[in-house]
Amino acid sequence: MMTSKMTGLEAIDAMFADTKEQNRAAFLPYFPIGYPNYAESIEAIVGMAEVGVDGFEIGMPFSDPLADGPVVQAATQIALENGTTVRDCIRAVRELRARGVHQPMLLMGYLNPILAYGIENFVRDAKAAGTNGLIVPDLPPEEGVLLAEVCHREGLALVFFLAPTSSNERMELVSKQASGFIYVVALTGVTGVRTELPPDLTDFIERLRKHTDKKLVMGFGISTPEQARRVGSLLDGFIVGSALVKAGKEGAAKAIELATTLRQALD
Amino acid sequence: MDENVYIKTGVTNVPDEGGYFGEYGGRFVPETLVPALDELIVAYKEAMADPEFQHELAHLQTTYTGRPTPVTYAKRLSEHLGGAQIYLKREDLAHTGAHKINNAIGQALLAKRMGKHRIVAETGAGQHGVASATVSALLGLDCHVYMGSVDMARQKPNVFRMKLLGAEVIPVESGSKTLKDAINEAIRDWVTNVRTTFYLLGSALGPHPYPMMVRDFQSVIGTEAREQIVKEAGRLPDVCIACVGGGSNAIGLFHAFRDDKNIELIGVEAGGHGIASGEHAARFADPNMGRPGVLQGTRSFVLQNADGQIMNTHSVSAGLDYASVGPEHAYFRENEIAHYTVATDDEALAAFQTLCKLEGIIPALESSHGVAEVIKRAPTLPKDAVILVNLSGRGDKDLDTVIKELGMNV
């Protein structure tokens, strides 16, 4: 469990130590701030924290989310229409900490709004609010040198991605640069619910383990307790996004309900 | 011309290995696409070094596209404006009616060489979509074109053309339903089907190597024009002008003249309803919204709000209606290799009509922005000055829009 003395990164390490001790994978829900409105997004995340999820990917909306499928696109579009800004997302993290959310929170957003805010200012403000790390889907490690430096200095995790298309060399490069964990994309594609996980998943993960000793967290396409169990048996953690976003369309309750089911599937 | 305001600094052998034109360019893409871009860089370099590929490309340019496209002396327009002598590089006469075919043929040959038979493309005005559909038909490739539904409505003839040519046209309903959103959808398709699919990107935009590759395939425009203008005008031009959306026709023209210190290169952005209105696509001209940023894989000038969200754009011409600009243009501007200005919708529409009436040429609304700058500049220059403007496409596709904009009854 996170204590105030830990850096953002150390709290993420502690999260994995906890889940490992419990012999299960970490469950990190994704939920965007400002969807379906600011207050409900806060309630959804507080509610999920209370039912014992392990950490959060807190979505910051962007006008052109090119790695996202229709569900997250529509949700973040609503968030933007509600006037949600980067500043609001940082404020949300502060508010969530005040509401007792103790789990690691990683801000997930595309690069341009972070650049517009200013890299130094963004990392400083996000950290001060209680953020543990950043996930930037359009930032491969080659382009992320400056952000990585600033995150490193401030003790925040900067999560990079690996995909089924990644070569062995790529796995080693990303492994060197990534901190906190590696976000493993389950399949070639955008975020969204899939009825089945790809059949070659085991081979892919075996190959990953050969080239990295970093924690591996899988996302893209996971939505059911069965999928959560399967992925949880293979990796250190998993992210569920679109399914929770879909459930949370009318408000927090349904999203919390689904998160509860997914969390219980791990026990 | 005041020589002091025009100092070309900066090296012109860009981009570097990482795809950077100075501070602009790069590769800001989801990790899933990185291997595909790496593979593309290797394949492109090999192809360009292969005489057989070069021969096939040149052969198709001649026998299929109809290159070289001519340079036409615009005698009546020159007389009418009473200043510089005006020459038109006639990309409107290339097969499919615009310069887009130059790049589409190059990339499609590359796709085939790489064994990728499924093509995805985005299109704004429809010219790149038509070019992609055309070369796909020619080479037996399976073509899928993403197009914003707003653009589909204003460029209907091109939608029909693509369908006739056997392409699937997929309407895009997200965002502003124009070019930017079509690119998002094309990238989403590519990231999903990356193993089998070649993304045939239509402008000098996107992640490395696209800005370089598109420029190289389009540089045939300037290479030809440089020789032709000497034949027609007896010397090199004083000014080269081209419209800039993503900027592929402009970079294609400019490249042959980038090292000539006494040749002014002018790119013309879409001024829409005027910069003050906020309804435009002028990335360089609007200091409030146009700032360096990252959109769709590349760092360049981007129209964005204070929070880094991308702004909706407006232009009467679908092909210029885009929130970012090719990174090499940002580099050219910063190093004063080229200058950039704007033409409004009204100026472009006026230029469109002028060229129709004085030269018997119906230009694309995109190209009309370049002509609008010619109309402003030519009278300020002496009679022995030479202006070369890239007539990047023909305007048949725009007739519906022009009829509506001018309130004509047909």
pLDDT in tens, A56-104: 999 999 999 999 999 999 999 999 999 999 999 999 999 999 999 999 9
Alpha-carbon distance of A200 to A206, in angstroms, equals 10
10-residue averages of pLDDT along chain B (410 residues)? 51 89 97 95 97 98 98 98 98 97 98 97 94 98 97 90 98 90 95 95 98 98 98 98 98 97 97 97 96 98 98 94 97 96 98 98 98 98 98 94 89
Question: Chain B residue with minimal CA distance to A187?
Answer: B192
Interface of B with A (CB under 8 A): 18, 26-36, 38, 174-175, 180-181, 184, 187-188, 191-195, 291, 293-297, 302, 304, 306-310
Contacts A65 to B, Cβ<8 Å:
184
Which of B181, B214, B247 corresponds to the end of one domain?
A: B214
The reply to whether B204 and B245 lie within a common domain is no
The reply to whether B254 and B355 lie within a common domain is yes
Residue B299 located in a structural domain:
yes
Is residue A195 pLDDT above 90, yes or no?
no
Q: Would you call B307 and A116 a contact, using CB atoms and an 8 Å cutoff?
A: yes
Number of domains in chain A: 1
> Choosing from A43, A68, A88, A236, which is the catalytic residue?
A68
The residue assigned the tokens 């064994």 is B115
Q: Would you call A170 and B195 a contact, using CB atoms and an 8 Å cutoff?
A: no
Contacts B302 to A, Cβ<8 Å:
112
Q: Would you call A86 and B308 a contact, using CB atoms and an 8 Å cutoff?
A: yes
Residue A13 located in a structural domain:
no
A64 is catalytic: no
Which pLDDT does position A4 carry in this prediction?
60
Which pLDDT does position A56 carry in this prediction?
98
> Choosing from A57, A88, A125, A236, which is the catalytic residue?
A57
Q: Would you call A142 and B18 a contact, using CB atoms and an 8 Å cutoff?
A: yes
The residue assigned the tokens 């964005």 is B304
A68 is catalytic: yes
Other C-beta atoms lying within 10 Å of the C-beta of residue A249: 15
The reply to whether B173 and B311 lie within a common domain is no
Residue B385 located in a structural domain:
yes
The reply to whether B93 and B104 lie within a common domain is no
The reply to whether B161 and B237 lie within a common domain is no
Please tell me the distance in Å from B387's CA to the nearest CA on chain A. 38
Residue A152 located in a structural domain:
yes
**Angle, helices B100-113/B51-60, rounded to nearest 10 degrees:** 140
- Which structural domain range is residue B339 located in? 67-97+219-405
Q: Is B311 helix (H, G, I), strand (E, B) or coil?
A: coil
- Which structural domain range is residue A260 located in? 26-264
- Name the helix (H) or strand (E) containing B172: strand B168-172
Contacts A137 to B, Cβ<8 Å:
30
Residue B14 located in a structural domain:
no
Residue B12 located in a structural domain:
no
> Choosing from B89, B100, B116, B177, which is the catalytic residue?
B100
> Choosing from B78, B89, B91, B122, which is the catalytic residue?
B122
The reply to whether B246 and B384 lie within a common domain is yes
Contacts A107 to B, Cβ<8 Å:
none
Which pLDDT does position B5 carry in this prediction?
44
The two structure tokens encoding residue B253:
């023209």
- CATH of residue A51's domain is 3.20.20.70
The reply to whether B117 and B254 lie within a common domain is no
Please tell me the distance in Å from A157's CA to the nearest CA on chain B. 18
List the B197-199 sheet strands across, edge first: B168-172, B142-148, B118-123, B197-199
**Angle, helices A38-50/A86-98, rounded to nearest 10 degrees:** 40
**C-alpha pair distances (Å), B329 with each of A38, B62, B145, B218, B315:** 40, 28, 26, 14, 19
Residue A15 located in a structural domain:
no
The amino acid sitting at B297 is G
Contacts B291 to A, Cβ<8 Å:
116
Which pLDDT does position A193 carry in this prediction?
85
Q: Would you call A166 and B26 a contact, using CB atoms and an 8 Å cutoff?
A: no
Is residue A196 pLDDT above 90, yes or no?
no
Residue A20 located in a structural domain:
no
Interface of A with B (CB under 8 A): 62-67, 69, 73, 77, 80, 85-87, 111-117, 137-140, 142-143, 160-167, 170, 174, 185, 188-190
Alpha-carbon distance of A157 to A14, in angstroms, equals 13
Residue A112 located in a structural domain:
yes
Q: Would you call A117 and B308 a contact, using CB atoms and an 8 Å cutoff?
A: yes
Which of B195, B214, B233 corresponds to the end of one domain?
A: B214
Residue B59 located in a structural domain:
no
Alpha-carbon distance of B67 to A266, in angstroms, equals 65
Question: What residues are paired with A30 via a beta bridge?
Answer: A57
Give residues with Cβ within 8 angstroms of A186, minimum separation 6: A164, A194, A197, A198, A201, A218, A219, A220, A221, A222, A231
Our CA angle for B337, B41, B172, nearest 5°, is 80
Contacts B174 to A, Cβ<8 Å:
73, 77
Contacts B196 to A, Cβ<8 Å:
none
Alpha-carbon distance of A84 to A62, in angstroms, equals 10
Residue A4 located in a structural domain:
no
The reply to whether B234 and B342 lie within a common domain is yes
Please tell me the distance in Å from B19's CA to the nearest CA on chain A. 11
Q: Which of B41, B122, B309, B312 to mutate to test the interface with A (most CBs of A within 10 A)?
A: B309
Cis geometry, peptide bond prior to residue A104 (ω within 30 degrees of 0): no
Contacts A64 to B, Cβ<8 Å:
175, 180-181, 184, 295-296, 310
The reply to whether B166 and B248 lie within a common domain is no
Strands (E), A90-220: 105-108, 133-135, 157-162, 182-185, 216-219
Q: What is the DSSP string of B44-67?
A: HHHHHT-HHHHHHHHHHIIIII-P
The reply to whether B184 and B232 lie within a common domain is no
Q: Which of B28, B33, B189, B199 to mutate to test the interface with A (most CBs of A within 10 A)?
A: B28
Residue B22 located in a structural domain:
no
Which pLDDT does position B297 carry in this prediction?
98
B392 is catalytic: yes
What does DSSP say about strands B71-73 and A56-59: parallel, antiparallel, or unpaired?
A: unpaired
Q: Which long-range contacts (C-beta less than 8 Å, at least 24 apart) are formed by A252-259?
A: A252/A40, A252/A41, A252/A43, A252/A44, A252/A47, A253/A47, A255/A29, A255/A31, A255/A44, A255/A47, A255/A48, A256/A44, A256/A47, A256/A48, A256/A51, A259/A27, A259/A29, A259/A47, A259/A48, A259/A51, A259/A53
The reply to whether B189 and B255 lie within a common domain is no
Please tell me the distance in Å from A138's CA to the nearest CA on chain B. 5
Residue B360 located in a structural domain:
yes
Contact B191, A67 (CB under 8 A): yes
CA-based radius of gyration for chain B: 19
Which of B168, B197, B214 corresponds to the end of one domain?
A: B214
Number of domains in chain B: 2
- CATH of residue B239's domain is 3.40.50.1100
Residue B154 located in a structural domain:
yes
Q: Would you call B184 and A190 a contact, using CB atoms and an 8 Å cutoff?
A: no
Contact B398, B287 (CB under 8 A): no
For chain A, give the mean pLDDT.
Answer: 95
The reply to whether B182 and B254 lie within a common domain is no
Chain A and chain B share a number of CB contacts under 8 A equal to 116
